[in-house]
């Protein structure tokens, strides 16, 4: 079993969660969800190809994946406050450069800076910060934070549309940059505590600890595979669902209505997890997530009569997947190594999110909707098997590993 530290009561949870929740909405809305509204105006104004404009998000995600392991180590050593505050400054700088970009190369280079900010400030950094503050008792805080993050597109897509209508796409970037400096940065500095995880009296601070013991690598590798495959499914469906449904003969208005079911399904499942999660281990949250996603993707492959149920099940599974992504590593490896391991896990997850839409586009072009839905169903079923193996290995080691 991992070494259990006393529960970290820490600072007021409502203040910390409100600070992280609001800034997560702003961070996701001004990065990952930004081009959902701005891509077409950018293309129309500049003449740059749409696929190159959209690739800015992929550049950002790839960059975030590269810096994520370093971010995890920094949060362990210094706490999350300076790292997340730096994210606000980096995002503001990158958005400013996007807004003044005069060439495609300049535009994509600006997304590299935005990507560094994403690595410093998106979900994995926020989860690591909560683990660093509250230790073993961070699970409920992590679950609550996912409820905030689920509203990023709901809040920021209408805001982006309003800004584009009144200020143009460049003006929208400038406003988001100002929001990062004028709103997110002060909230993070005032709402998050200084310092890192408080260790118990007498604990050997100087004893070196490898992030993973030799016997822990299979569990960590399986966990990384499960989370990476989940991210692949999420990213591919998130980008291509409407196009896939239309290729199956679904009218655009119906496809949009079906796609709109994902958000409420995610939030509803997270609420259930928040209320009931204390009664079972996070491994069962991950198991339920993969089963729901597997059934949902299989029903997408079946055809039209099952689309409603398929999307509701997929959305629910994806909703609690984000909870498991934050809570399961904490349960398996304990709070001391949590920030470092979250940084390592973020690398394949973010790279998968960046590359999956490209894989989906190639599959769609080669084999149409049927092949693409088949790929998703296969990935969903494979993930159920991987979680079964993870459950078996973790049970053999007593549900956790040595810290």
Q: Per-residue pLDDT tens for 52-102?
A: 888 898 899 999 999 999 998 899 888 889 999 999 999 999 999 999 999
pLDDT band at 401 (very low <50, low <70, confident <90, very high): very low
- Can you give the pLDDT at residue 54? 85
pLDDT band at 400 (very low <50, low <70, confident <90, very high): very low
In terms of Cβ atoms closer than 10 Å to its own Cβ (0-12, 13-18, 19+), residue 369 is buried
The reply to whether 13-191 and 214-396 are identical in fold is yes
Q: What is the mean pLDDT of residues 311-340?
A: 89
Is-contact 64 346, C-beta < 8 A?
yes
Q: Calculate the CA dihedral of residues 377, 382, 385, 390 and round it to 10 degrees.
A: -130
The model carries a pTM of 0.82
Which H or E element spans position 163?
A: helix 152-179
Q: Distance between CA 274 and CA 292 in Å, rounded?
A: 17
Q: Where are the domains of the chain?
A: 13-191, 214-396
Q: How many Cα neighbours within 13 Å face the side chain of 264?
A: 8
- Can you give the pLDDT at residue 209? 55
Tell me: pLDDT of 210 over 80. no
Tell me: pLDDT of 193 over 60. yes
Q: Calculate the CA dihedral of residues 161, 354, 74, 209 and round it to 10 degrees.
A: 150
**Mean per-residue pLDDT over the chain, rounded:** 86
Residue scoring higher pLDDT (342 or 181) = 181
Choose the CATH number for 214-396 among 1.10.3720.10, 3.40.50.2000, 3.30.1330.40, 1.20.1250.20.
1.20.1250.20
In CATH, what number does 13-191 get?
Answer: 1.20.1250.20
**If you search the block for the tokens 């989860």, which residue do you land on?**
127
Tell me: pLDDT of 206 over 70. no
pLDDT band at 198 (very low <50, low <70, confident <90, very high): low
**If you search the block for the tokens 């993930």, which residue do you land on?**
383
For the chain, the first-to-last Cα distance in angstroms comes to 8
Give the gyration radius of the chain's Cα atoms: 21
- Can you give the pLDDT at residue 118? 95
Q: Distance between CA 184 and CA 390 in Å, rounded?
A: 38
pLDDT digits (tens, 9 = 90+) for 280-302: 888 999 999 999 999 999 999 88
Q: Distance between CA 296 and CA 208 in Å, rounded?
A: 45
Q: What is the mean pLDDT of residues 33-47?
A: 88
Q: Distance between CA 178 and CA 93 in Å, rounded?
A: 10
- Can you give the pLDDT at residue 398? 63
Nearest to 135 by CA among 2, 330, 399, 329: 330
Which range of 98-112, 119-133, 139-153, 268-282 scores highest in mean pLDDT? It is 98-112
């Amino acid at each position: 079993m991992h070494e259990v530290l006393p529960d970290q009561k820490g600072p007021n949870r409502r203040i910390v969660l409100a600070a992280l929740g609001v800034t997560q909405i702003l961070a996701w809305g001004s990065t990952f969800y930004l081009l959902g509204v701005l891509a077409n105006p950018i293309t129309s104004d500049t003449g740059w190809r749409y696929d190159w404009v959209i690739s800015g998000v992929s550049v950002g995600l790839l960059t975030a994946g590269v810096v994520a392991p370093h971010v995890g180590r920094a949060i362990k050593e210094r706490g999350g406050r300076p790292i997340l505050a730096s994210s606000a400054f980096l995002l503001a700088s990158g958005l400013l450069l996007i807004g003044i970009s005069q060439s495609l190369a300049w535009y994509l280079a600006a997304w590299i800076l935005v990507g560094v900010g994403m690595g410093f400030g998106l979900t994995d950094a926020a989860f690591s910060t909560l683990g660093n503050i509250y230790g073993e008792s961070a699970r409920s805080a992590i679950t609550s934070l996912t409820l905030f993050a689920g509203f990023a597109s709901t809040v920021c897509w209408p805001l982006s549309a309003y800004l584009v209508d009144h200020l143009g796409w460049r003006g929208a970037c400038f406003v988001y940059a100002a929001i990062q400096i004028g709103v997110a940065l002060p909230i993070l500095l005032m709402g998050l505590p200084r310092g890192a995880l408080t260790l118990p009296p007498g604990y050997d601070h100087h004893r070196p600890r490898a992030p993973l013991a030799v016997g822990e690598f299979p569990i960590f590798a399986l966990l990384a595979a499960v989370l990476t495959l989940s991210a692949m499914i999420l990213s591919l469906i998130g980008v291509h669902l409407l196009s896939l449904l239309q290729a199956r003969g679904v009218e655009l208005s119906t496809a949009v209505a079906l796609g709109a079911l994902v958000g409420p399904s995610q939030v509803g499942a997270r609420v259930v997890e928040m209320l009931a999660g204390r009664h079972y281990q996070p491994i069962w949250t991950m198991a339920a997530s993969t089963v729901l996603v597997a059934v949902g993707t299989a029903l997408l492959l079946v055809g039209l009569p099952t689309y409603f149920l398929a999307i509701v099940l997929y959305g629910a599974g994806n909703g609690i997947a984000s909870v498991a992504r934050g809570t399961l590593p904490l349960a398996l490896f304990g709070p001391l190594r949590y920030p470092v391991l979250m940084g390592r896990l973020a690398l394949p997850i973010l790279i998968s999110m960046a590359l999956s839409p490209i894989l989906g586009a190639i599959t769609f072009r080669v084999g149409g909707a049927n092949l693409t839905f088949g790929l998703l169903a296969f990935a969903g079923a494979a993930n159920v098997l991987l979680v079964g193996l993870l459950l078996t290995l973790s049970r053999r080691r007593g549900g956790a590993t040595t810290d």
